[in-house]
């Protein structure tokens, strides 16, 4: 047994607030009882507010983000349909793979890892598709593998500019409930999330927003589905029930999660994530290192993928951090394995929590021989957080 807490700074699962853990410490219950519907009905309603979805429906499936991808495509598309997706990291790559396994014809736009969704290239492909063969446009809003956030509203504008009728599907697994996400305003038809990132819960729920247009498309879609069928969910959900045994404990956690998000206020949640991320970026700069994200416009406020200098293996940094300091950082995945390590800074997090990740990263990097001025990143982040702290006077502090 290792004393003290494990420093959990992978980009999901994230740190779970004590109140959420307590909310899930409830007896198991009868999910067909007359009183059960109150909880799911309140969740369906409030999740629409989190997704900023005016009309349409939010689904809660037992599953994870991957299940959400599958539900989104199988409910709205048919084998042989063409979809368009840009690939710029492991998660956008995996969504393509899932589509292909369901018999979809995937047109990809390959982009260098570290860049985001190429709005101009989407615009070109869509404008060239005069016969409207493309049935869905897929975008990974926040590519967790590279720490890159994309301009979803820009992709919608590209679709509107050529009156393209395709569905817009967005992977919001590591963005929803942490950074700005506006499902209706951005004209998103399907938005996919999971419980273990911005919602600060264990993995186990796929949370999916569907627009009215997506719900209409689900009437024609021929992809094979059973467990993830929207129709079964719609029929049961309208009365607050599920077509099979729901993860009741997680639903209680989700209630507490949404309450917590609303009590802070979504805008403040987004601001907090931005500020925490800026502190991390200040530290990276002070270390003399660079992010995998190539330009500030791509910088993610939920995860930073940090490049180690040539000649070093980022996996050694990770194992040093874990073995010596009980600190979990995110590994570089696939193409960027060994090139980057990631700090997840989303969910229930504040300055001093992330300082733990910065201090541990700094120590582990020095341990593997990377030349870093001791305390440089930590010092820079400290200053950033001090200067941007909410104004509390010494008098206020004394009074409280």
Residues of this chain that interact with ligand PLP (CB under 6 A) are 12, 64-66, 91, 140, 142, 144, 171, 173-174, 194, 203
Cβ closest to ligand PLP, residue 65 vs residue 279 = 65
d(CA 218, CA 221): 5
**Tally of residues, the chain:** 400
Question: Measured from the CB of residue 159, what is the shortest distance to ligand PLP in angstroms?
Answer: 21
Question: Measured from the CB of residue 100, what is the shortest distance to ligand PLP in angstroms?
Answer: 16
Cβ closest to ligand PLP, residue 59 vs residue 91 = 91
Question: Measured from the CB of residue 284, what is the shortest distance to ligand PLP in angstroms?
Answer: 20
3-state secondary structure of 306: strand
Cβ closest to ligand PLP, residue 331 vs residue 372 = 331
User: Token pair of 86, please?
Assistant: 């840009």
d(CA 348, CA 17): 6
Cβ closest to ligand PLP, residue 68 vs residue 279 = 68
> Can you say whether the dihedral through the CA atoms of 102, 108, 114, 115 is positive or negative?
negative
Question: Measured from the CB of residue 31, what is the shortest distance to ligand PLP in angstroms?
Answer: 23
8 A C-beta contact, residue 279 and residue 354: yes
d(CA 20, CA 202): 10
Question: Measured from the CB of residue 62, what is the shortest distance to ligand PLP in angstroms?
Answer: 12
- Long-range CB pairs of 287-292 (<8 Å, 24+ gap) are 287/362, 287/365, 287/372, 287/373, 287/376, 287/377, 288/372, 291/114, 291/147, 292/113, 292/114, 292/146, 292/147, 292/148, 292/336, 292/339, 292/340
7 sits in the region (left: phi over 0; alpha: psi -120 to 50; else beta) called beta
Cβ closest to ligand PLP, residue 145 vs residue 258 = 145
Cβ closest to ligand PLP, residue 203 vs residue 368 = 203
Question: Measured from the CB of residue 63, what is the shortest distance to ligand PLP in angstroms?
Answer: 8
Residue whose C-beta lies closest to ligand PLP: 65
Question: Measured from the CB of residue 43, what is the shortest distance to ligand PLP in angstroms?
Answer: 19
Question: Measured from the CB of residue 90, what is the shortest distance to ligand PLP in angstroms?
Answer: 8
Q: Where are the beta strands (DSSP E) in the chain?
A: 7-9, 57-63, 82-87, 105-110, 134-140, 142-143, 148-149, 167-171, 190-194, 204-210, 290-291, 303-307, 327-331, 340-344
Cβ closest to ligand PLP, residue 142 vs residue 218 = 142
Cβ closest to ligand PLP, residue 59 vs residue 287 = 59
8 A C-beta contact, residue 144 and residue 174: yes
């Amino acid at each position: 047994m290792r004393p003290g807490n494990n420093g959990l700074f992978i980009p999901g699962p994230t740190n779970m607030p004590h109140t959420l853990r307590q909310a899930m410490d409830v007896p198991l219950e009868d999910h067909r009882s007359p009183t059960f519907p109150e909880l799911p009905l309140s969740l369906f309603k409030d999740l629409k507010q989190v997704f900023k979805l005016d009309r349409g429906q939010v689904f809660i499936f037992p599953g994870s983000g991957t299940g959400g991808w599958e539900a989104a495509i199988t409910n709205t598309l048919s084998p042989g349909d063409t979809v368009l997706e840009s690939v710029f990291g492991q998660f956008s790559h995996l969504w393509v793979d899932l589509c292909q396994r369901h018999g979809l014809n995937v047109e990809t736009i390959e982009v260098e890892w570290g860049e985001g969704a190429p709005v101009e290239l989407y615009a070109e492909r869509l404008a060239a598709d005069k016969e409207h063969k493309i049935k869905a446009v897929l975008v990974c809003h926040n590519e967790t593998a590279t720490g890159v956030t994309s301009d979803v509203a820009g992709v919608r504008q590209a679709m509107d500019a050529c009156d393209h009728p395709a569905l817009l599907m967005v992977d919001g697994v590591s963005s929803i409930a942490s950074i700005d996400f506006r499902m209706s305003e951005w004209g998103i038809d399907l938005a996919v999330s999971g419980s273990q990132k911005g919602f600060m819960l264990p993995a186990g729920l796929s949370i999916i927003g569907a627009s009215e247009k997506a719900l209409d498309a689900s009437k024609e879609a021929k992809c094979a589905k059973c467990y993830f069928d929207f129709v079964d969910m719609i029929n049961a959900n309208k009365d607050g029930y599920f077509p099979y045994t729901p993860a009741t404990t997680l639903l209680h956690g989700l209630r507490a999660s949404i309450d917590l998000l609303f009590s802070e206020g979504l805008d403040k949640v987004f601001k907090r994530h931005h500020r925490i991320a800026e502190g991390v970026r200040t530290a990276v700069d002070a270390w003399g290192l660079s992010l995998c994200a190539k330009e500030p416009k791509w910088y993610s406020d939920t995860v930073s993928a940090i490049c180690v200098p040539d000649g070093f293996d980022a996996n050694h940094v990770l194992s040093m951090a874990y073995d010596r300091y009980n600190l979990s950082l995110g590994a570089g995945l696939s193409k960027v394995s060994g090139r980057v390590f990631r700090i997840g800074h989303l969910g229930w997090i504040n300055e001093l929590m992330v300082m733990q990740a910065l201090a541990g990263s700094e120590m582990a990097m020095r341990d593997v021989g990377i030349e870093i001025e001791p305390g440089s990143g930590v010092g820079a982040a400290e200053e950033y957080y001090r200067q941007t702290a909410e104004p509390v006077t010494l008098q206020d502090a004394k009074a409280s």
